[in-house]
Amino acid sequence: MISGGRRIYPWPAIGLGIFSLLLVFWAGFGLAQRLGVMNVEPYPELLRNGKAEVQSCSGDWVTMWMTVSCDARVRWDGMEATEMKVVHSTHDLSGTVAVQEQRVQNRRYSTRKQVVSADYTIIRSETLSLVLVAFCPVSGFGLGFFLGGRLARLLPEPPPKVERLKLKPFAPKRGPKRPKRGRRR
């Protein structure tokens, strides 16, 4: 890469561009989970309601600590037995809270059950999900590529390229080509 008559390394721009692409994609995924943005799957099917006694909560690193998973003892409406479940929420939970068990589409043909707090919201916006999935990572890559190019200018100039040797055939040429002997017409 040449910049202003000076050669620079291309790897800082490419490396920082890819790193920022992944970082912005991770942040966009976490924000989508926090806002409850869903595009493809239908609204979750409500299976049952209940009350949960929260024991401990921790942030999820997968969503950049924007959502919380809480261990809780859940008692479903109409049942006496309690069971341990992980309750997902957008904020810290404490004490006794209302929860819902939902069936959500996991992949194209499979579903999974999840327990969420009763105030867990879902935003169905194709525009917002397109921005979070497409525009933000692309702009993150562009920003990282630009900053990596600026970083590359601070590095010393790479050594000049060495010209490669051209190998010549070992055997000398045999002379002019003779016409093929064959049937004459």
Three-state DSSP class for 145?
A: helix
Topology of domain 44-121 in CATH is OB fold (Dihydrolipoamide Acetyltransferase, E2P) (2.40.50)
pLDDT at site 106: 65
Domain coordinates in residue numbering, the chain: 2-29+128-154, 44-121
Structure confidence by residue, pLDDT tens digits, 3-62: 566 677 788 888 888 899 888 888 877 777 777 665 445 667 788 999 999 999 888 777
pLDDT at site 3: 53
pLDDT at site 149: 86
Higher local confidence (pLDDT), 2 or 141:
141
pLDDT at site 119: 82
Separation of alpha carbons 85 and 24, rounded Å: 31
Number of residues that this document lists for the chain? 185
pLDDT at site 84: 92
DSSP string, 70-134: EEEEEEETT---EEEEEEEESS---SEEEEEEEEEE-SSS-EEEEEEETT---B--HHHHHIIII
Three-state DSSP class for 14?
A: helix
Higher local confidence (pLDDT), 151 or 106:
151
Structure confidence by residue, pLDDT tens digits, 57-96: 888 777 777 778 899 999 999 888 889 999 988 888 889 9
